[in-house]
DNA sequence: CTATTGTGGACCTGTGATATCCATAATAAA
DNA sequence: TTTATTATGGATATCACAGGTCCACAATAG
């Protein structure tokens, strides 16, 4: 259970695009060279980011990519969901509510069922909670906030050197 | 990016074993029938749980499985890590610290590097934070806490019916 | 000794991640 | 308008892994 390399590449590419002293359009060549990823593969990723409105792309001479909105409004969650899809973290495979009566007192009049009629599995419920926690955290971190952090460190290091 | 079915099966199997009115050893046949999963596949999963000390197994007539420790000390995280492995949620693939200078001011004297010499990638750092949040949540939920929740609901429903 | 029950290895299949290559479309500059 | 540049999308290849089956073997109770 790990985020894919595509997500890695996407995040780093966006950080490059979000750099304050970038010119408007960054070509796939520059991105490819910077990240050390092949142009062909990286362009697939950028294409996906474009389809989901994270970046804009312009073909032709001097074309390239740029962020479609301010870096502060591109969250980690946004990027991850584009690359990894929006399925939920966990799905109970016993959705047919078969003999899913984990807690059935055999022979009792009122078996306690772990899953109730409304298709609600308690395991799934816990995992949904986990997912919500995760997503909330990922939403609080944006391309911009990471850039800020990087610059903060830069200046701290500068200060220490003197 | 989703937890595997094995994790699903494992959690449900443990809930079955954790049921207060279970006899000591539950055979693979009973588990298989309850979960609706083939014996052969489920036994692989139980084997794994045994190797990691989550359950105990005894072969032979009247053999079967039982929890190796109280249900309150078997957390969701425990189970997930057995089934999914213990790799971290995200790993920066640019570990060779190549030209990973995402924030390099071209031509500036002091390029700000997103990754510093100590192999610390800021993207990875954010993701590690996410992982910690997730793990903390998953550690707070145990097989026992889910059983308790199920029984609580049971009695609430009972009350409503009268 | 025998029936029962878990263990572990070999094997199979489909799917998805990672990646490459190429033809095509769009665009700016000459 | 032509040409060079740059992004797009389809086809394809490879590989690992999830999910699953089958079987021989070991351990155990009666």
Interatomic distance A40 CA / D15 C1' (Å): 19
Beta bridge partners of B55: B67
Task: Check: CB of residue A9 under 8 Å from CB of residue A35.
Answer: yes
Beta bridge partners of A121: A115
- Chain D bases closer than 7 angstroms to a protein Cβ: 4-10, 18-23, 26-30
- For residue range B7-45, list pLDDT tens digits in order: 999 999 999 999 877 677 999 999 999 999 999 999 999
Gap between the Cα atoms of A110 and B159, Å rounded? 12
Contacts of B149 in chain A (CB under 8 A): 122
User: Helix (H, G, I), strand (E, B), or coil: what is residue B116?
Assistant: strand
Nucleic strand C near CB of residue B37 (< 7 Å): no
Domains in chain B, ordered, with CATH? 1-74 (1.10.10.10)
- For residue range A132-147, list pLDDT tens digits in order: 999 999 999 999 999 9
Q: Which residues contact B150 (CB under 8 A, 6 or more apart)?
A: A102, A103, A112, A114, A122
Task: Check: CB of residue A10 under 8 Å from CB of residue A45.
Answer: yes
Q: Chain A window 47-66: which residues touch B at a Cβ cutoff of 8 Å?
A: none
Inter-chain contact A90–B141, Cβ cutoff 8 Å?
A: no
Inter-chain contact A154–B21, Cβ cutoff 8 Å?
A: no
- DSSP element (H, E) containing B30: helix B28-35
Interatomic distance B61 CA / C2 C1' (Å): 11
- Strand C contacts (CB < 7 A) among A residues 99-128? none
Q: What is the mean pLDDT of residues A43-68?
A: 96
- For residue range B96-138, list pLDDT tens digits in order: 444 455 455 444 444 556 655 556 789 999 999 999 999 999 9
Inter-chain contact A2–B122, Cβ cutoff 8 Å?
A: no
Q: What is the mean pLDDT of residues B142-147?
A: 96
Inter-chain contact B123–A90, Cβ cutoff 8 Å?
A: no
Mutation target among B103, B134, B160 for the A interface, most CBs of A within 10 A: B103
């Amino acid at each position: 259970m790990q985020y894919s390399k595509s997500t890695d590449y996407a995040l780093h590419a966006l950080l490059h695009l979000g750099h304050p002293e970038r010119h408007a359009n960054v070509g796939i060549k520059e991105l490819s060279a910077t990240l050390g990823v092949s142009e062909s593969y990286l362009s697939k990723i950028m294409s996906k980011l474009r389809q989901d409105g994270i970046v804009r792309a312009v073909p032709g001479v001097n074309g390239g990519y740029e962020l479609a909105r301010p870096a502060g409004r591109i969250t980690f969650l946004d990027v991850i969901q584009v690359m990894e899809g929006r399925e939920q973290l966990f799905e109970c495979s016993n959705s047919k509510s078969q003999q899913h009566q984990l807690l059935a007192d055999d022979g009792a009049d009122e078996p306690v069922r772990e899953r109730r009629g409304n298709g609600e599995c308690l395991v799934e419920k816990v995992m949904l909670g986990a997912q919500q926690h995760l997503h909330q955290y990922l939403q609080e971190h944006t391309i911009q906030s990471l850039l800020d952090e990087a610059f903060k460190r830069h200046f701290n290091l500068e200060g220490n050197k003197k």
